[in-house]
Amino acid sequence: MATAALETAVDQAALLEFLLRIGDNALILGHRVSEWCGHSPALEEDIALANTALDLIGQTQLWLGLAGEVEGKGRSADDLAYLRDGYDFRNILLVERPNGDFGKTLMRQFLFDAWHYLLLKALKGSTETRIAEIAEKAFKEVSYHLDRSRDLVIRLGDGTAESHRRMQEALDDLWPYTGEMFAADAVDAALVEAGIIPEPQSLKAGWDEIVAEALAEGTLKKSADGYMHKGGRRGVHTEHLGFILSEMQFLQRAYPGATW
Amino acid sequence: MYAQMVKTDAARVRSLDEMDPVERAFQERVDAGQKIEPKEWMPEGYRKTLVRQISQHAHSEIVGQLPEGNWISRAPTLERKAILLAKVQDEAGHGLYLYCAAETLGISRDQMYEQLHSGKAKYSSIFNYPTLTWADIGAIGWLVDGAAIMNQVPLQRCSYGPYARAMVRICKEESFHQRQGYDALMCMVKGTPAQKAMVQDALNRWWWPSLMMFGPSDDASVHSAQSMAWKIKQNSNDELRQKFVDQTVPQAKYLGLTVPDPDLKWNEEKGGHDFGEPDWEEFFNVIAGNGPCNAERLEARKKAWNDGAWFRDGLTAHAEKAADRRAAAKIAAE
């Protein structure tokens, strides 16, 4: 049934592209978050971050697994994660930003979670059953991610002068990477047309609202909307992605064909 | 064994007749297998010994995140990455229960951290060894968690209630950890010659440090005798080590690996293996801070703590502000 649904008239190349975008976001952010394991400022944070990373890796398995099916060349989620080079990755630049201090990690998470939450909420109503099913599961997890990251952004924004300064700095540094979440191209247009995904711009108002409320409560000042960096969604990344991949893919590259 | 060579402050184990009535009543309850709970009277030495042991155990879980965390970003498949993340997360959770159990004895988590960072409190020697290949992650699950289970199963019957109860949940999770480690190695030994060689190399490096986890022979140790009298400890180090070797050798054989001990052989008469003596000089060196990773492990923990000070201060300040606002709102409403 599910396979039949995927064999409709929808542009399969566009569908694949979308699945790589959403799957790579989860993979790369999951990787970044997992870098904190054992190094975070409080034991409770180690546990919570590992949980977030675990959810994101689980979502990666589902999205990239489906991407492999849609592609129809027999590639598994692992093949896609471990055997593509940077130019084939489709994640937005925001998720590959280095962790920085814990404040920057939390701010990146919040800015992403607010968007991810709205995207998944919309995808639950996708005309593509398999996408709707994955979104249903991921939405529950991401609702919790957003509760947590929003709460911490508020508390640290309205904490000490030092925590406020760090959160404001994190926000200003990351802001230019938020525009890419709402960018649209021909891939999006084809899938929006088929009712598979929401119009990217349609998420902007909701995102603005979630972000503005949290920033206000956390006494943080919204950054000025200036130049927005883009490129990840079409495979043009920052220098950071190559290092993530060389670490992540080391064993698969060093021992080709081995089973782990 | 995540707690090694825990001191008790005892010069010798005293008999019931030498105790005053309160202590005697305590000892009789312990002897009868009853649990001691936080608010009940206990000898000061019992309390201190438990704080040492439980905090050492908690610190081991926390420091233990580091050698395994070292490979999360390089795990070879999404599934292995998820399993490893879940395992390291469990360890942080174990640390949390154990710090809470120790807190019932009148010490705070911050004080315990302070003792870890200053070097006053120890953690298990095993976590001062490096994880050099992916096979080390499997080997830690199989051997290190296997050795920990040997020690922790009897601790479920420990006389101190909160510690015993924490151990019940921890043991369940440790048993999953051990299985996943063995499973990862099984997959590798069935793989390419390079993978199999990687597993053998891991066993060569982790075998002896795993045997050292139980600590040197404590048959003559007054601390062990006292801990046993208090039912904080149930078995001697040698007993547990023997049990571990007897359990693990057939598993190594099943994996097609060679245990790196020329003296290892089955002794029909005792119904167990004879095996060589670990290098105790190396063990004492690691305990003294000279292991391959002691400096890095402690530095990593101190850095996490120090770098995170602003985060913890920020949350505390916010909680105080929020409380003030609630109080002000209440006054305004009245």
In a domain, A20, yes or no: yes
Q: Which residue, among A70, A191, A167, has the nearest Cα to A110 in the 3D structure?
A: A167
Test the B interface: residue of A45, A54, A61, A167 with most B CBs within 10 Å: A54
What CATH number did the domain enclosing A22 receive?
Answer: 1.20.1260.10
Tell me whether A57 touches chain B (CB under 8 Å): yes
For residue A118, give the amino acid letter: L
In a domain, A37, yes or no: yes
Q: Are strands B265-267 and B272-274 parallel, antiparallel or unpaired?
A: antiparallel
Query: pLDDT for A115-129, tens place per residue?
Result: 999 999 999 999 999
Terminal Cα-to-Cα distance of chain B (whole angstroms): 58
**CB contact (8 A) between residue B317 and residue A251:** no
pLDDT at B3: 80
Q: Which residue, among B327, B218, B191, has the nearest Cα to B280 in the 3D structure?
A: B218
Q: Which residue, among B116, B109, B107, B117, has the nearest Cα to B49 in the 3D structure?
A: B107
**CB contact (8 A) between residue A103 and residue B321:** no
Nearest-angstrom CA–CA distance, A75 and A64:
9
Compute, in degrees rounded to 10, the torsion defined by CA atoms B240, B244, B247, B249: -140
The distance of B181 to chain A (nearest Cα, Å) reads 12
B160 pairs with which residues across the strands? B36
Nearest-angstrom CA–CA distance, A102 and A35:
11
In a domain, A260, yes or no: no
Residue A138 CB neighbour total at 10 angstroms: 25
CA distances for A157 relative to A94, A199, B277, angstroms: 21, 32, 57
The distance of A98 to chain B (nearest Cα, Å) reads 14
Nearest-angstrom CA–CA distance, B125 and A37:
21
Q: Which residue, among A150, A135, A142, A115, has the nearest Cα to A54 in the 3D structure?
A: A142
Tell me whether B317 touches chain A (CB under 8 Å): yes
**CB contact (8 A) between residue B66 and residue A38:** yes
For residue A134, give the amino acid letter: I
User: Global pTM?
Assistant: 0.95
CA distances for B134 relative to A79, B80, B196, angstroms: 19, 10, 12
Query: pLDDT for A63-97, tens place per residue?
Result: 999 999 999 999 999 999 999 999 999 999 999 99
The distance of B110 to chain A (nearest Cα, Å) reads 11
The encoded tokens of residue A225 equal: 């909307």
Collect all residues of chain A within an 8 Å Cβ-Cβ radius of residue B109: 43
Which residues numbered 215-254 in B keep a CB inside 8 Å of some CB on A? none
pLDDT at A1: 43
**CB proximity list for B145: less than 8 A, separation 6 or greater:** B174, B177, B178, B181
CA distances for A72 relative to A10, A25, A92, B5, B93, angstroms: 15, 22, 25, 59, 41
In a domain, A226, yes or no: no
Question: What is the secondary structure of A104-169 as a DSSP string?
Answer: HHHHHHHHHHHHHHHHHHHHTT-SSHHHHHHHHHHHHHHHHHHHHHHHHHHHHHTS-HHHHHHHHH
Tell me whether A87 touches chain B (CB under 8 Å): no
CB B112 within 8 Å of CB B55: yes
CA distances for B248 relative to B21, B146, B152, angstroms: 46, 8, 17
Collect all residues of chain B within an 8 Å Cβ-Cβ radius of residue A155: 314-315, 318-319
pLDDT at A8: 54
Query: pLDDT for B226-272, tens place per residue?
Result: 999 999 999 999 999 999 999 999 999 999 999 999 999 999 999 99
CA B86 to chain centre: 18
The encoded tokens of residue A7 equal: 């064999």
Which residues numbered 155-184 in A keep a CB inside 8 Å of some CB on B? 155-156, 158-160, 162-164, 166
B273 secondary structure, DSSP code = E
In a domain, A75, yes or no: yes
Query: pLDDT for A137-158, tens place per residue?
Result: 999 999 999 999 999 999 999 9
Number of domains observed in the structure of chain A:
1
In a domain, A116, yes or no: yes
CA B1 to chain centre: 6
Question: What is the secondary structure of B87-102 as a DSSP string?
Answer: HHHHHHHHHHHHHHHH
Residue A2 has pLDDT above 60, yes or no: no
The encoded tokens of residue A109 equal: 């998470």
**CB proximity list for A44: less than 8 A, separation 6 or greater:** B96
pLDDT at B5: 82
In a domain, A179, yes or no: yes
CB B229 within 8 Å of CB B150: no
Which residues numbered 131-160 in B keep a CB inside 8 Å of some CB on A? 134
pLDDT band at A9 (very low <50, low <70, confident <90, very high): low
CA distances for B215 relative to B279, B282, B290, B296, angstroms: 11, 12, 17, 23
Tell me whether B309 touches chain A (CB under 8 Å): yes
Tell me whether A13 touches chain B (CB under 8 Å): no
**CB contact (8 A) between residue B85 and residue A34:** yes
Residue A165 CB neighbour total at 10 angstroms: 12
Task: Give the residue, B136 or A10, on which the prediction is more confident.
Answer: B136
Domain encompassing residue A143: 11-221+231-254
What is the CB-side half-sphere exposure of residue B44 using CA atoms within 13 A?
2
The encoded tokens of residue A113 equal: 């979670």
Nearest-angstrom CA–CA distance, A169 and A156:
12
The residue in chain B having the minimum alpha-carbon distance to the alpha carbon of residue A31 is B73
Nearest-angstrom CA–CA distance, B278 and B2:
17
Residue A136 has pLDDT above 90, yes or no: yes
CA B61 to chain centre: 6
Q: What are the 10-residue block averages of pLDDT along chain B, 334 residues in total?
A: 81 91 96 96 96 96 96 98 96 96 97 96 96 98 96 95 95 92 98 98 98 92 91 94 98 98 97 97 96 97 97 98 94 89
pLDDT at B10: 85
Nearest-angstrom CA–CA distance, B138 and B151:
20
Quote the crossing angle between the two packed helices B78-103 and B109-118, to the nearest 10°. 110
**CB contact (8 A) between residue A61 and residue B76:** no
Average pLDDT score over chain A: 96
